């Protein structure tokens, strides 16, 4: 159970409690190749976890119509406070995209689902086929 921190304001403590109630995913608990379907108010994202906070993400027509490797920072409540390496319902996903200087922040997350292993394996196989091979000496 969360105990309010005396040095944090009521709104911050309330947000932390709400994130515990709404639920979410700690990225550190996910093994590589875990596939998450993240439904926001505006888009449905697919994230293939690569380890740590790295993921291949797709689902936005402008920022990631095809899988792109990003660093997931965590989730926000719409302000500057970030819950690190956490994807939370009712919050906004924040990730660093290699083509943009500032983080991408999604609309509010409505649902997060982990794909069954069979579905995840197919998504990972299809995604790997679209990743260009590294260029370098043989």
Residue range 80-91, pLDDT digits in tens: 778 899 999 999
Bridge partner residues of 74 (DSSP): 84, 94
Query: What pLDDT shows up at residue 108?
Result: 95
Q: Does the global pTM surpass 0.85?
A: no
Tens digits of residue pLDDT in 10-30: 665 555 556 565 668 999 999
Q: What is the 3-state secondary structure (H, E, C) of 34-72?
A: CEEEEEECCCEEEEEEEECCEEEEECECCCECCCEEEEE
Using the Cα atoms of residue 79, residue 47, residue 44 and residue 102 in order, give the sign of their dihedral.
Answer: positive
Could you give the CA distance from residue 49 to residue 56 in angstroms, rounded to a whole number? 7
Q: What is the pLDDT of residues 99-123, one digit of tens each?
A: 999 999 999 999 999 987 777 677 7
């Amino acid at each position: 159970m969360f105990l309010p921190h005396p040095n944090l304001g009521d709104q911050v403590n309330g947000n932390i409690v709400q994130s515990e109630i709404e639920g979410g995913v700690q990225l550190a608990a996910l093994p590589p190749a875990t596939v998450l379907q993240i439904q926001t108010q505006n888009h449905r994202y697919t994230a293939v976890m690569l380890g740590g906070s790295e993921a291949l993400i797709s689902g936005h027509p402008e920022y990631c119509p095809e899988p792109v490797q990003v660093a997931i920072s965590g989730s926000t409540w719409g302000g500057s406070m970030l819950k690190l390496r956490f994807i939370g319902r009712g919050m906004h996903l924040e990730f660093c995209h290699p083509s943009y200087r500032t983080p991408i922040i999604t609309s509010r997350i409505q649902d997060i689902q982990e794909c069954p292993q069979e579905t995840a394996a197919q998504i990972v196989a299809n995604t790997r086929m679209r990743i260009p091979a590294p260029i370098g000496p043989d």
